[in-house]
Amino acid sequence: MTKNAKLEAWVKQVRAMCQPDRVRWCDGSQAEYDEMIHLMLRSGTAQPLDPRKRPNSYLVRSDPGDVARVEDRTFICSEDEQAAGPTNNWRDPAEMKVALTKLFTGCMRGRTLYVIPFSMGPIGSPIAYTGVQLSDSPYVVASMRIMTRMGQPVLDALGDGDFVPCLHSVGMPLSPGKMDVAWPCNADDKYIVHFPETREIWSFGSGYGGNALLGKKCLALRIASVIARDEGWLAEHMLILKLTNPSGQVHYICGAFPSACGKTNLAMMRPALPGWRVETIGDDIAWMRFGDDGRLYAMNPEAGFFGVAPGTNETSNPNAMATLRENVLFTNCALTPDGDVWWEDMTNELPERLTDWRGQPWTRDLKASAAHPNARFTASASQCPVMSPEWQNPHGVPISAILFGGRRATVVPLVQEARDWKHGTFLGSIIGSEKTAAAAGKVGDLRRDPMAMLPFCGYNMADYWSHWLRIGRHPGAQLPRIYLVNWFRKSAGGDFLWPGFGENVRVLKWIFERCEGTAKAVETPIGRLPAEGELEVTGLDVSRENLAELLHVDTEGWLADVVAMREYYEQFGDRMPPELRVELEALGQRLSVCR
């Protein structure tokens, strides 16, 4: 319970508006989690997996219309439209409140309103933020208990302090006596709305992932990015890993990759090079602040993984597989006849028969995938065998290098180093990626996704770049080095040129040794590439030609990118930081000389 006056008043007000049958304050206990599971089993939302195969684990099937983040229904409602910028959907906050109030009125009839206090970051940490989510979904309660530090201890630490109010409803009231559906949601109206000035979140109509677990993208990225701008820190869509070399030296690395582009895999990697060790600090979000020593310290505000299931297997990510042995919520995976989950590429051999993610019989000869491409697992970070003990450090870990990446079948080489922070900010601003299933829309199209923050930046992207440049001017800053990486180059035949996964440590090794000052680089028009022989290739199964292709500067391809970027920058008008335009034109000039 709480004596927080703002919280009590808000719950009262929401109760009057949403008209739930009852209100339940969540304490975060195991008993409460079990009760949520029980409710989901009873309503058909979840089904148990065979406890001999996957103890204490459940499969949830969402509505087929509610399977990913809905970016076209995501809004940044700042007072001034320009503050949201051209890459965000904007609505006037007052008008949006009116529209939402209409939708939320009576929307929880027949349901329970759960009060879910949560902390992003270790409870009581000076750099953590408290949120309180009000939701009518038991799936959200159970998921928030895994993904965040949740429950009574958060209220105890909060006292009468401030919190971010996060209102959520699946948007499907139940009339008296009416049976519920397995996955309630609202097919017609979905709204994922942020009010950056008042630091509020309203989410209506979806129960899935980032649409509904409001601590994650909504608070820890969209709202936090605005707070970070105002307070001089960074809230980023980045993994955090600890890399130890064979002699025991350590560097911490952050990496921004768009959704479904490899953060979880890199953060949990089992390195292919003997003696090297990767430990996980975080797999999706990093909050970075300057320490007294001028270094940037990164903290993972989450407490669990909401990870992409397809592609995860004993070879690609054995540590994820170990994390998933028990106590897991699986969503939109396929079901095996013996009561376990399955997804594409989980096993070498295709199962003969399955129940697919929609609950339909599936056989091998069918072309359709059995799991949804955005099928996910929800598991506690504490279950990951390579979790670094420092993941709970309330101050974070000092970052030596930042990676930017994405899926680029062409043009972008395996790795390149930025000359300095400004050049690195420029490289981050131009990253693009072929679209994945993590968001609704057509998969495969190339889109610009600056710093992997396109769907997550709570304000004008050009102002965000200015903020990055400002961070670079912090007095006494000992800034991380910045790299562009690309694991996804393809041959003309469509095969990946680079084996990826555990082999990515070869790239991390070069970066580590750059940080130590022991590895050599060559200057090229696009940045610094590994000098001849500097990328460790012992034991690597990649042909000389493919390796050359991976480290080749594609002058024409880059020049085409320069033209595309010039156009992309155009939309930001005079909010565009001039430094980035200067970088872009300088790149164009250097490339033209090589033509």
Contact status: 306 vs ligand SPV (CB under 6 A): yes
Neighbours of 483 (CB within 10 A): 25
Q: Which region, judged by CB under 6 A, interacts with ligand GTP, from 6-14, 25-33, 261-269, 459-467?
A: 261-269
Q: Are 40 and 60 in contact (CB under 8 A)?
A: yes
Contact status: 217 vs ligand SPV (CB under 6 A): yes
Contact status: 260 vs ligand GTP (CB under 6 A): yes
Q: How far is the CB of 260 from ligand SPV (least distance, A)?
A: 7
Contact status: 588 vs ligand SPV (CB under 6 A): no
Neighbours of 268 (CB within 10 A): 29
Contact status: 496 vs ligand GTP (CB under 6 A): yes
Q: Which region, judged by CB under 6 A, interacts with ligand GTP, from 37-45, 176-184, 498-506, 586-594?
A: 498-506
**Among residues 487 and 572, whose Cβ is nearest to ligand GTP?**
487
Q: How far is the CB of 307 from ligand SPV (least distance, A)?
A: 8
Contact positions with ligand SPV (CB under 6 A) in 324-353: none
Contact status: 216 vs ligand SPV (CB under 6 A): yes
Q: How far is the CB of 186 from ligand SPV (least distance, A)?
A: 17
Q: Are 40 and 58 in contact (CB under 8 A)?
A: yes
Contact status: 416 vs ligand SPV (CB under 6 A): no
**Integer Cα distance of 555 and 548 in angstroms:** 14
- Binds ligand SPV (CB under 6 A): choice among 210, 215, 301, 398: 210
- Binds ligand SPV (CB under 6 A): choice among 45, 259, 355, 425: 259
Contact positions with ligand GTP (CB under 6 A) in 266-285: 283-284
Q: Look up residue 17 and give its two tokens.
A: 């508006």
Residue 361 β-bridge partners: 355
Integer angstrom CA distances of residue 558 from 410, 419, 521, 566 = 10, 17, 20, 12
**Integer Cα distance of 146 and 49 in angstroms:** 18
- Binds ligand GTP (CB under 6 A): choice among 217, 229, 263, 372: 263
**Integer Cα distance of 567 and 138 in angstroms:** 46
Q: Which region, judged by CB under 6 A, interacts with ligand GTP, from 310-318, 440-448, 459-467, 478-486?
A: 310-318
- Binds ligand SPV (CB under 6 A): choice among 284, 356, 503, 583: 284
Integer angstrom CA distances of residue 463 from 238, 447, 471 = 19, 20, 12
Could you tell me how many residues of this chain bind ligand GTP (CB under 6 A)? 22
98 interface partner picked from Mn ion, ligand GTP, ligand SPV, none, CB below 5 to 8 A per type: none
Which residue type sits at 287? W
Integer angstrom CA distances of residue 367 from 67, 349, 350, 370, 558 = 20, 15, 12, 9, 37
Dihedral-angle region of residue 544 (phi above 0 means left; psi in -120 to 50 means alpha; beta otherwise): alpha
**Integer Cα distance of 291 and 142 in angstroms:** 35
Helical pair 555-570 and 578-594, crossing angle rounded to 10 deg: 160
**Integer Cα distance of 577 and 9 in angstroms:** 43
Contact status: 69 vs ligand SPV (CB under 6 A): yes
**Integer Cα distance of 236 and 451 in angstroms:** 8
Sign of CA dihedral 244, 245, 249, 255: negative
- Binds ligand GTP (CB under 6 A): choice among 487, 512, 558, 572: 487
**Annotated catalytic residue within 18, 107, 185, 261:** 261
Q: Are 240 and 401 in contact (CB under 8 A)?
A: no
Longest pairwise C-alpha distance within the chain = 75
Active site residue 18: no
**Among residues 201 and 285, whose Cβ is nearest to ligand GTP?**
285
**Integer Cα distance of 48 and 100 in angstroms:** 36
Contact positions with ligand SPV (CB under 6 A) in 488-547: none
Q: How far is the CB of 402 from Mn ion (least distance, A)?
A: 16
Site residues for Mn ion per CB under 5 A = 259, 284
Q: How far is the CB of 452 from ligand GTP (least distance, A)?
A: 8
480 interface partner picked from ligand SPV, ligand GTP, Mn ion, none, CB below 5 to 8 A per type: none
Q: Are 333 and 364 in contact (CB under 8 A)?
A: no
**Among residues 242 and 376, whose Cβ is nearest to Mn ion?**
376
Strand ranges inside 196-285, DSSP E: 200-204, 234-236, 238-244, 250-256, 277-282
69 interface partner picked from ligand SPV, Mn ion, ligand GTP, none, CB below 5 to 8 A per type: ligand SPV
Contact status: 257 vs ligand GTP (CB under 6 A): yes
Q: How far is the CB of 283 from ligand GTP (least distance, A)?
A: 6
- Binds ligand GTP (CB under 6 A): choice among 310, 413, 450, 458: 310
Residue carrying structure tokens 């390149």: 416
Contact status: 441 vs ligand GTP (CB under 6 A): no
Report residue 407: phi and psi, to 5°. Answer: -90, 105
Q: How far is the CB of 306 from ligand SPV (least distance, A)?
A: 5
- For 95-136, give the DSSP string: HHHHHHHHHHTTTTTTSEEEEEEEEESSTT-TT-EEEEEEES
Contact status: 504 vs ligand GTP (CB under 6 A): yes
Q: How far is the CB of 210 from ligand SPV (least distance, A)?
A: 3
Q: Which region, judged by CB under 6 A, interacts with ligand GTP, from 10-18, 26-34, 303-311, 362-370?
A: 303-311
Contact status: 438 vs ligand SPV (CB under 6 A): yes
Contact status: 422 vs ligand SPV (CB under 6 A): no
Q: Are 18 and 136 in contact (CB under 8 A)?
A: yes
Q: Are 399 and 480 in contact (CB under 8 A)?
A: yes
Contact status: 420 vs ligand GTP (CB under 6 A): no
Q: Please tell me what DSSP assigns to residue 391.
A: G
- For 461-486, give the DSSP string: HHHHHHHHHHHHT-TT-BPPEEEEE-
Q: How far is the CB of 329 from ligand GTP (least distance, A)?
A: 15
Could you tell me how many residues of this chain bind ligand SPV (CB under 6 A)? 9
How many residues does this entry show for the chain? 595
Q: How far is the CB of 573 from ligand GTP (least distance, A)?
A: 30
Q: How far is the CB of 335 from ligand GTP (least distance, A)?
A: 20
Report residue 22: phi and psi, to 5°. Answer: -155, 165
Interacting residue ranges for ligand SPV, rule: CB under 6 A:
69, 209-210, 216-217, 259, 284, 306, 438
**Which residues participate in catalysis according to the annotation?**
261
**Residues at the contact surface with ligand GTP, assessed by CB under 6 A:** 257, 259-265, 283-284, 307-308, 310-311, 316, 438, 487-488, 496, 500-501, 504
